Amino acid sequence: MLVYDTQLSSRLLLGTSRYPSPAVLTEAVKASGTGVVTVSLRRESSNERSGQGFFSIIRSLGVRVLPNTAGCHSVKEAVTTAHMAREVFGTSWIKLEVIGDRTTLQPDVFGLVEAAKILCDDGFQVFPYTTEDLVVADKLLDAGCGVLMPWGAPIGSGQGLNNVPGLRAMRARFADVPLIVDAGIGVPSHAARALELGMDGVLINTAVARAGDPVGMAQAFADAVKAGRSAFIAQPMLPSDVAIPSTPEIGLAHLV
């Protein structure tokens, strides 16, 4: 998968929050085969983690870090957090979140576009967490984004892909834009489905971190992403409203 002129080794991106321990996180990252992990600067700098000690663990994983602006509810918050993340991690990559609703954690698409424009103009390579709205997507691309991250369902809900027609429409409209489904994926079959639809990748966090066996689940998602991509390339059969016999009638005995 090519994003911002960088070839990624895997179509699975992995979040780093809410794991039982740093050791489990480390093993899950390895099992997933991911080349990119996301880190929330605000969350991990709080009392939930040990600050620089946690960042050292992330750096030791040998994967690319995609900082995010999780928890930001305004353009100013998101832009400020992005600048802090660039200083801490030394990367121009930023997963941009501007949350508009505290219940669904749905993006504030108006603030998202505004913040994306500011950051792109300042040299950031922005990964915007957005909805499947085509108009918003157009505006994000016009702002300078080179990738889109539509949600599958509300963050952490595990509901899967709530708007398959919407994701299909995005894939058709933006054929040359990397599309990475972010949020709401709960089980590997959801991830496989996203790749079968032609999505370029998925970002998983809660479904792995909160599994009974995070390491085993990370491996399961890695397998699912590969299977989904292979199925998309193989061109799945189209569904039919009626039964189609797999055995031809020619050559069958007809009793009278």
Q: Catalytic positions, please?
A: 95
Find out whether 183 is annotated in a ligand binding site.
yes
Find out whether 206 is annotated in a ligand binding site.
yes
Alpha helix (H) residue ranges in 71-163: 75-89, 109-121, 134-143
Find out whether 205 is annotated in a ligand binding site.
yes
CB 179 within 8 A of CB 199: yes
CA 191 to chain centre: 10
Q: Which of 50, 61, 66, 55 is nearest to 15 (CA)?
A: 66
Backbone angles phi, psi at 108, to 5 degrees: -85, 95
CA 209 to chain centre: 15
Find out whether 33 is annotated in a ligand binding site.
no
Find out whether 156 is annotated in a ligand binding site.
yes
Tokens of 139: 């505006």
CB atoms within 10 A of CB 149: 25
Task: List the binding residues for 1-deoxy-D-xylulose 5-phosphate.
Answer: 156, 183-184, 205-206
